[in-house]
């Protein structure tokens, strides 16, 4: 059976020029990720895992190499086109939640829909996403009135509201204690099971990596192991 690749990357390089020194953050990474998979990206700091996540999440462009996300070649797109791709195909979950503190949780979840140009039914869709993460009764709270775990749930609701092809989670449990962190992991794994959303988790916590089906280890900008 032909496999359905949601991510196809070939020879990704990212080179920063720091004054005289050339830093090769990624030095030729090729990988494919199947739709519906759960993948952990691990590696010591400076190994290039954040850079890889930024490129896979279309926040950044590779210096060299080809990258197709959900069947769309994105390495040559301009800033606004990349913004569109991020909006439709990628959901981000950050270590520090990154919610807008001035507005309600529901308004935070609505934000991607607004940038998608959706005018009607936004509120309903955002409510459904809040239901999906189990925060039906916290919709009109501000992020500052929520606990860390609840804030991360709001962030997950925001990530999945546009039904993206992949969810990129950068240390999603890093700011939470282990019990709440496990709850968040369970929620993410559940979403993967129920909706088939591809999950890419950047982490340095082996306990998290153990729960994924595949672990990619990076070192010095290269794939060290892939199991």
Q: Which is nearer to another protein, 148 or 183 (CB)?
A: 148
CB 1 to another protein: min, Å: 33
Q: Which is nearer to another protein, 102 or 195 (CB)?
A: 102
| Contacts by residues 147-151 (CB-CB < 8 Å, ≥ 24 positions apart) | 147/180, 148/97, 148/175, 148/176, 148/180, 149/176, 149/180, 149/183, 149/184, 151/97, 151/99
d(CA 48, CA 194): 31
Q: Which is nearer to another protein, 37 or 170 (CB)?
A: 170
Contact 208, 214 (CB under 8 A): no
CB 215 to another protein: min, Å: 24
SS3 state at 48: coil
Q: Which is nearer to another protein, 103 or 178 (CB)?
A: 103
CB 83 to another protein: min, Å: 5
d(CA 39, CA 66): 20
Note the residues at the interface with another protein (CB under 8 A). Answer: 54, 57, 59-60, 79-80, 83-84, 86-88, 92, 94, 98, 100, 102-103, 111-112, 114-117, 119, 158, 162
CB 161 to another protein: min, Å: 10
CA atoms within 13 A on the CB side of 8: 10
CB 179 to another protein: min, Å: 27
User: Closest by alpha carbon to 56, among 31, 25, 79?
Assistant: 31
Q: Which is nearer to another protein, 15 or 59 (CB)?
A: 59
């Amino acid at each position: 059976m032909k496999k359905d690749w949601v991510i196809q990357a070939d020879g990704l390089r990212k080179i920063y020029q720091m004054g005289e020194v050339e830093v090769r953050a990624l030095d030729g990474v090729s990988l494919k990720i199947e739709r519906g998979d759960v993948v952990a990206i691990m590696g010591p700091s400076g190994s290039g895992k954040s850079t890889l996540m930024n490129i896979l999440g279309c926040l950044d462009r590779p210096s060299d190499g080809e990258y197709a996300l959900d069947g769309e070649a994105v390495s040559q797109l301009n800033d606004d086109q990349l913004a569109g791709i991020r909006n439709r195909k990628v959901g981000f979950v950050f270590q520090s939640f990154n919610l807008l503190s001035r507005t309600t949780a529901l308004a935070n979840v609505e934000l991607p829909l607004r940038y998608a140009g959706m005018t009607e039914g936004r509120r309903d869709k955002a409510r459904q996403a809040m239901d999906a993460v189990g925060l039906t009764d916290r919709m009109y709270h501000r992020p500052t009135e929520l606990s860390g775990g609840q804030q991360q749930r709001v962030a997950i609701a925001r990530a999945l509201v546009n039904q993206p092809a992949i969810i990129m989670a950068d240390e999603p449990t890093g700011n939470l204690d282990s019990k709440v962190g496990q709850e968040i992991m369970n929620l993410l794994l559940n979403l993967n099971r129920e909706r088939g959303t591809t999950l890419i988790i950047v982490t340095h916590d082996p306990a998290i990596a153990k729960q994924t089906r595949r672990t990619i280890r990076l070192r010095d900008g290269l794939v060290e192991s892939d199991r």
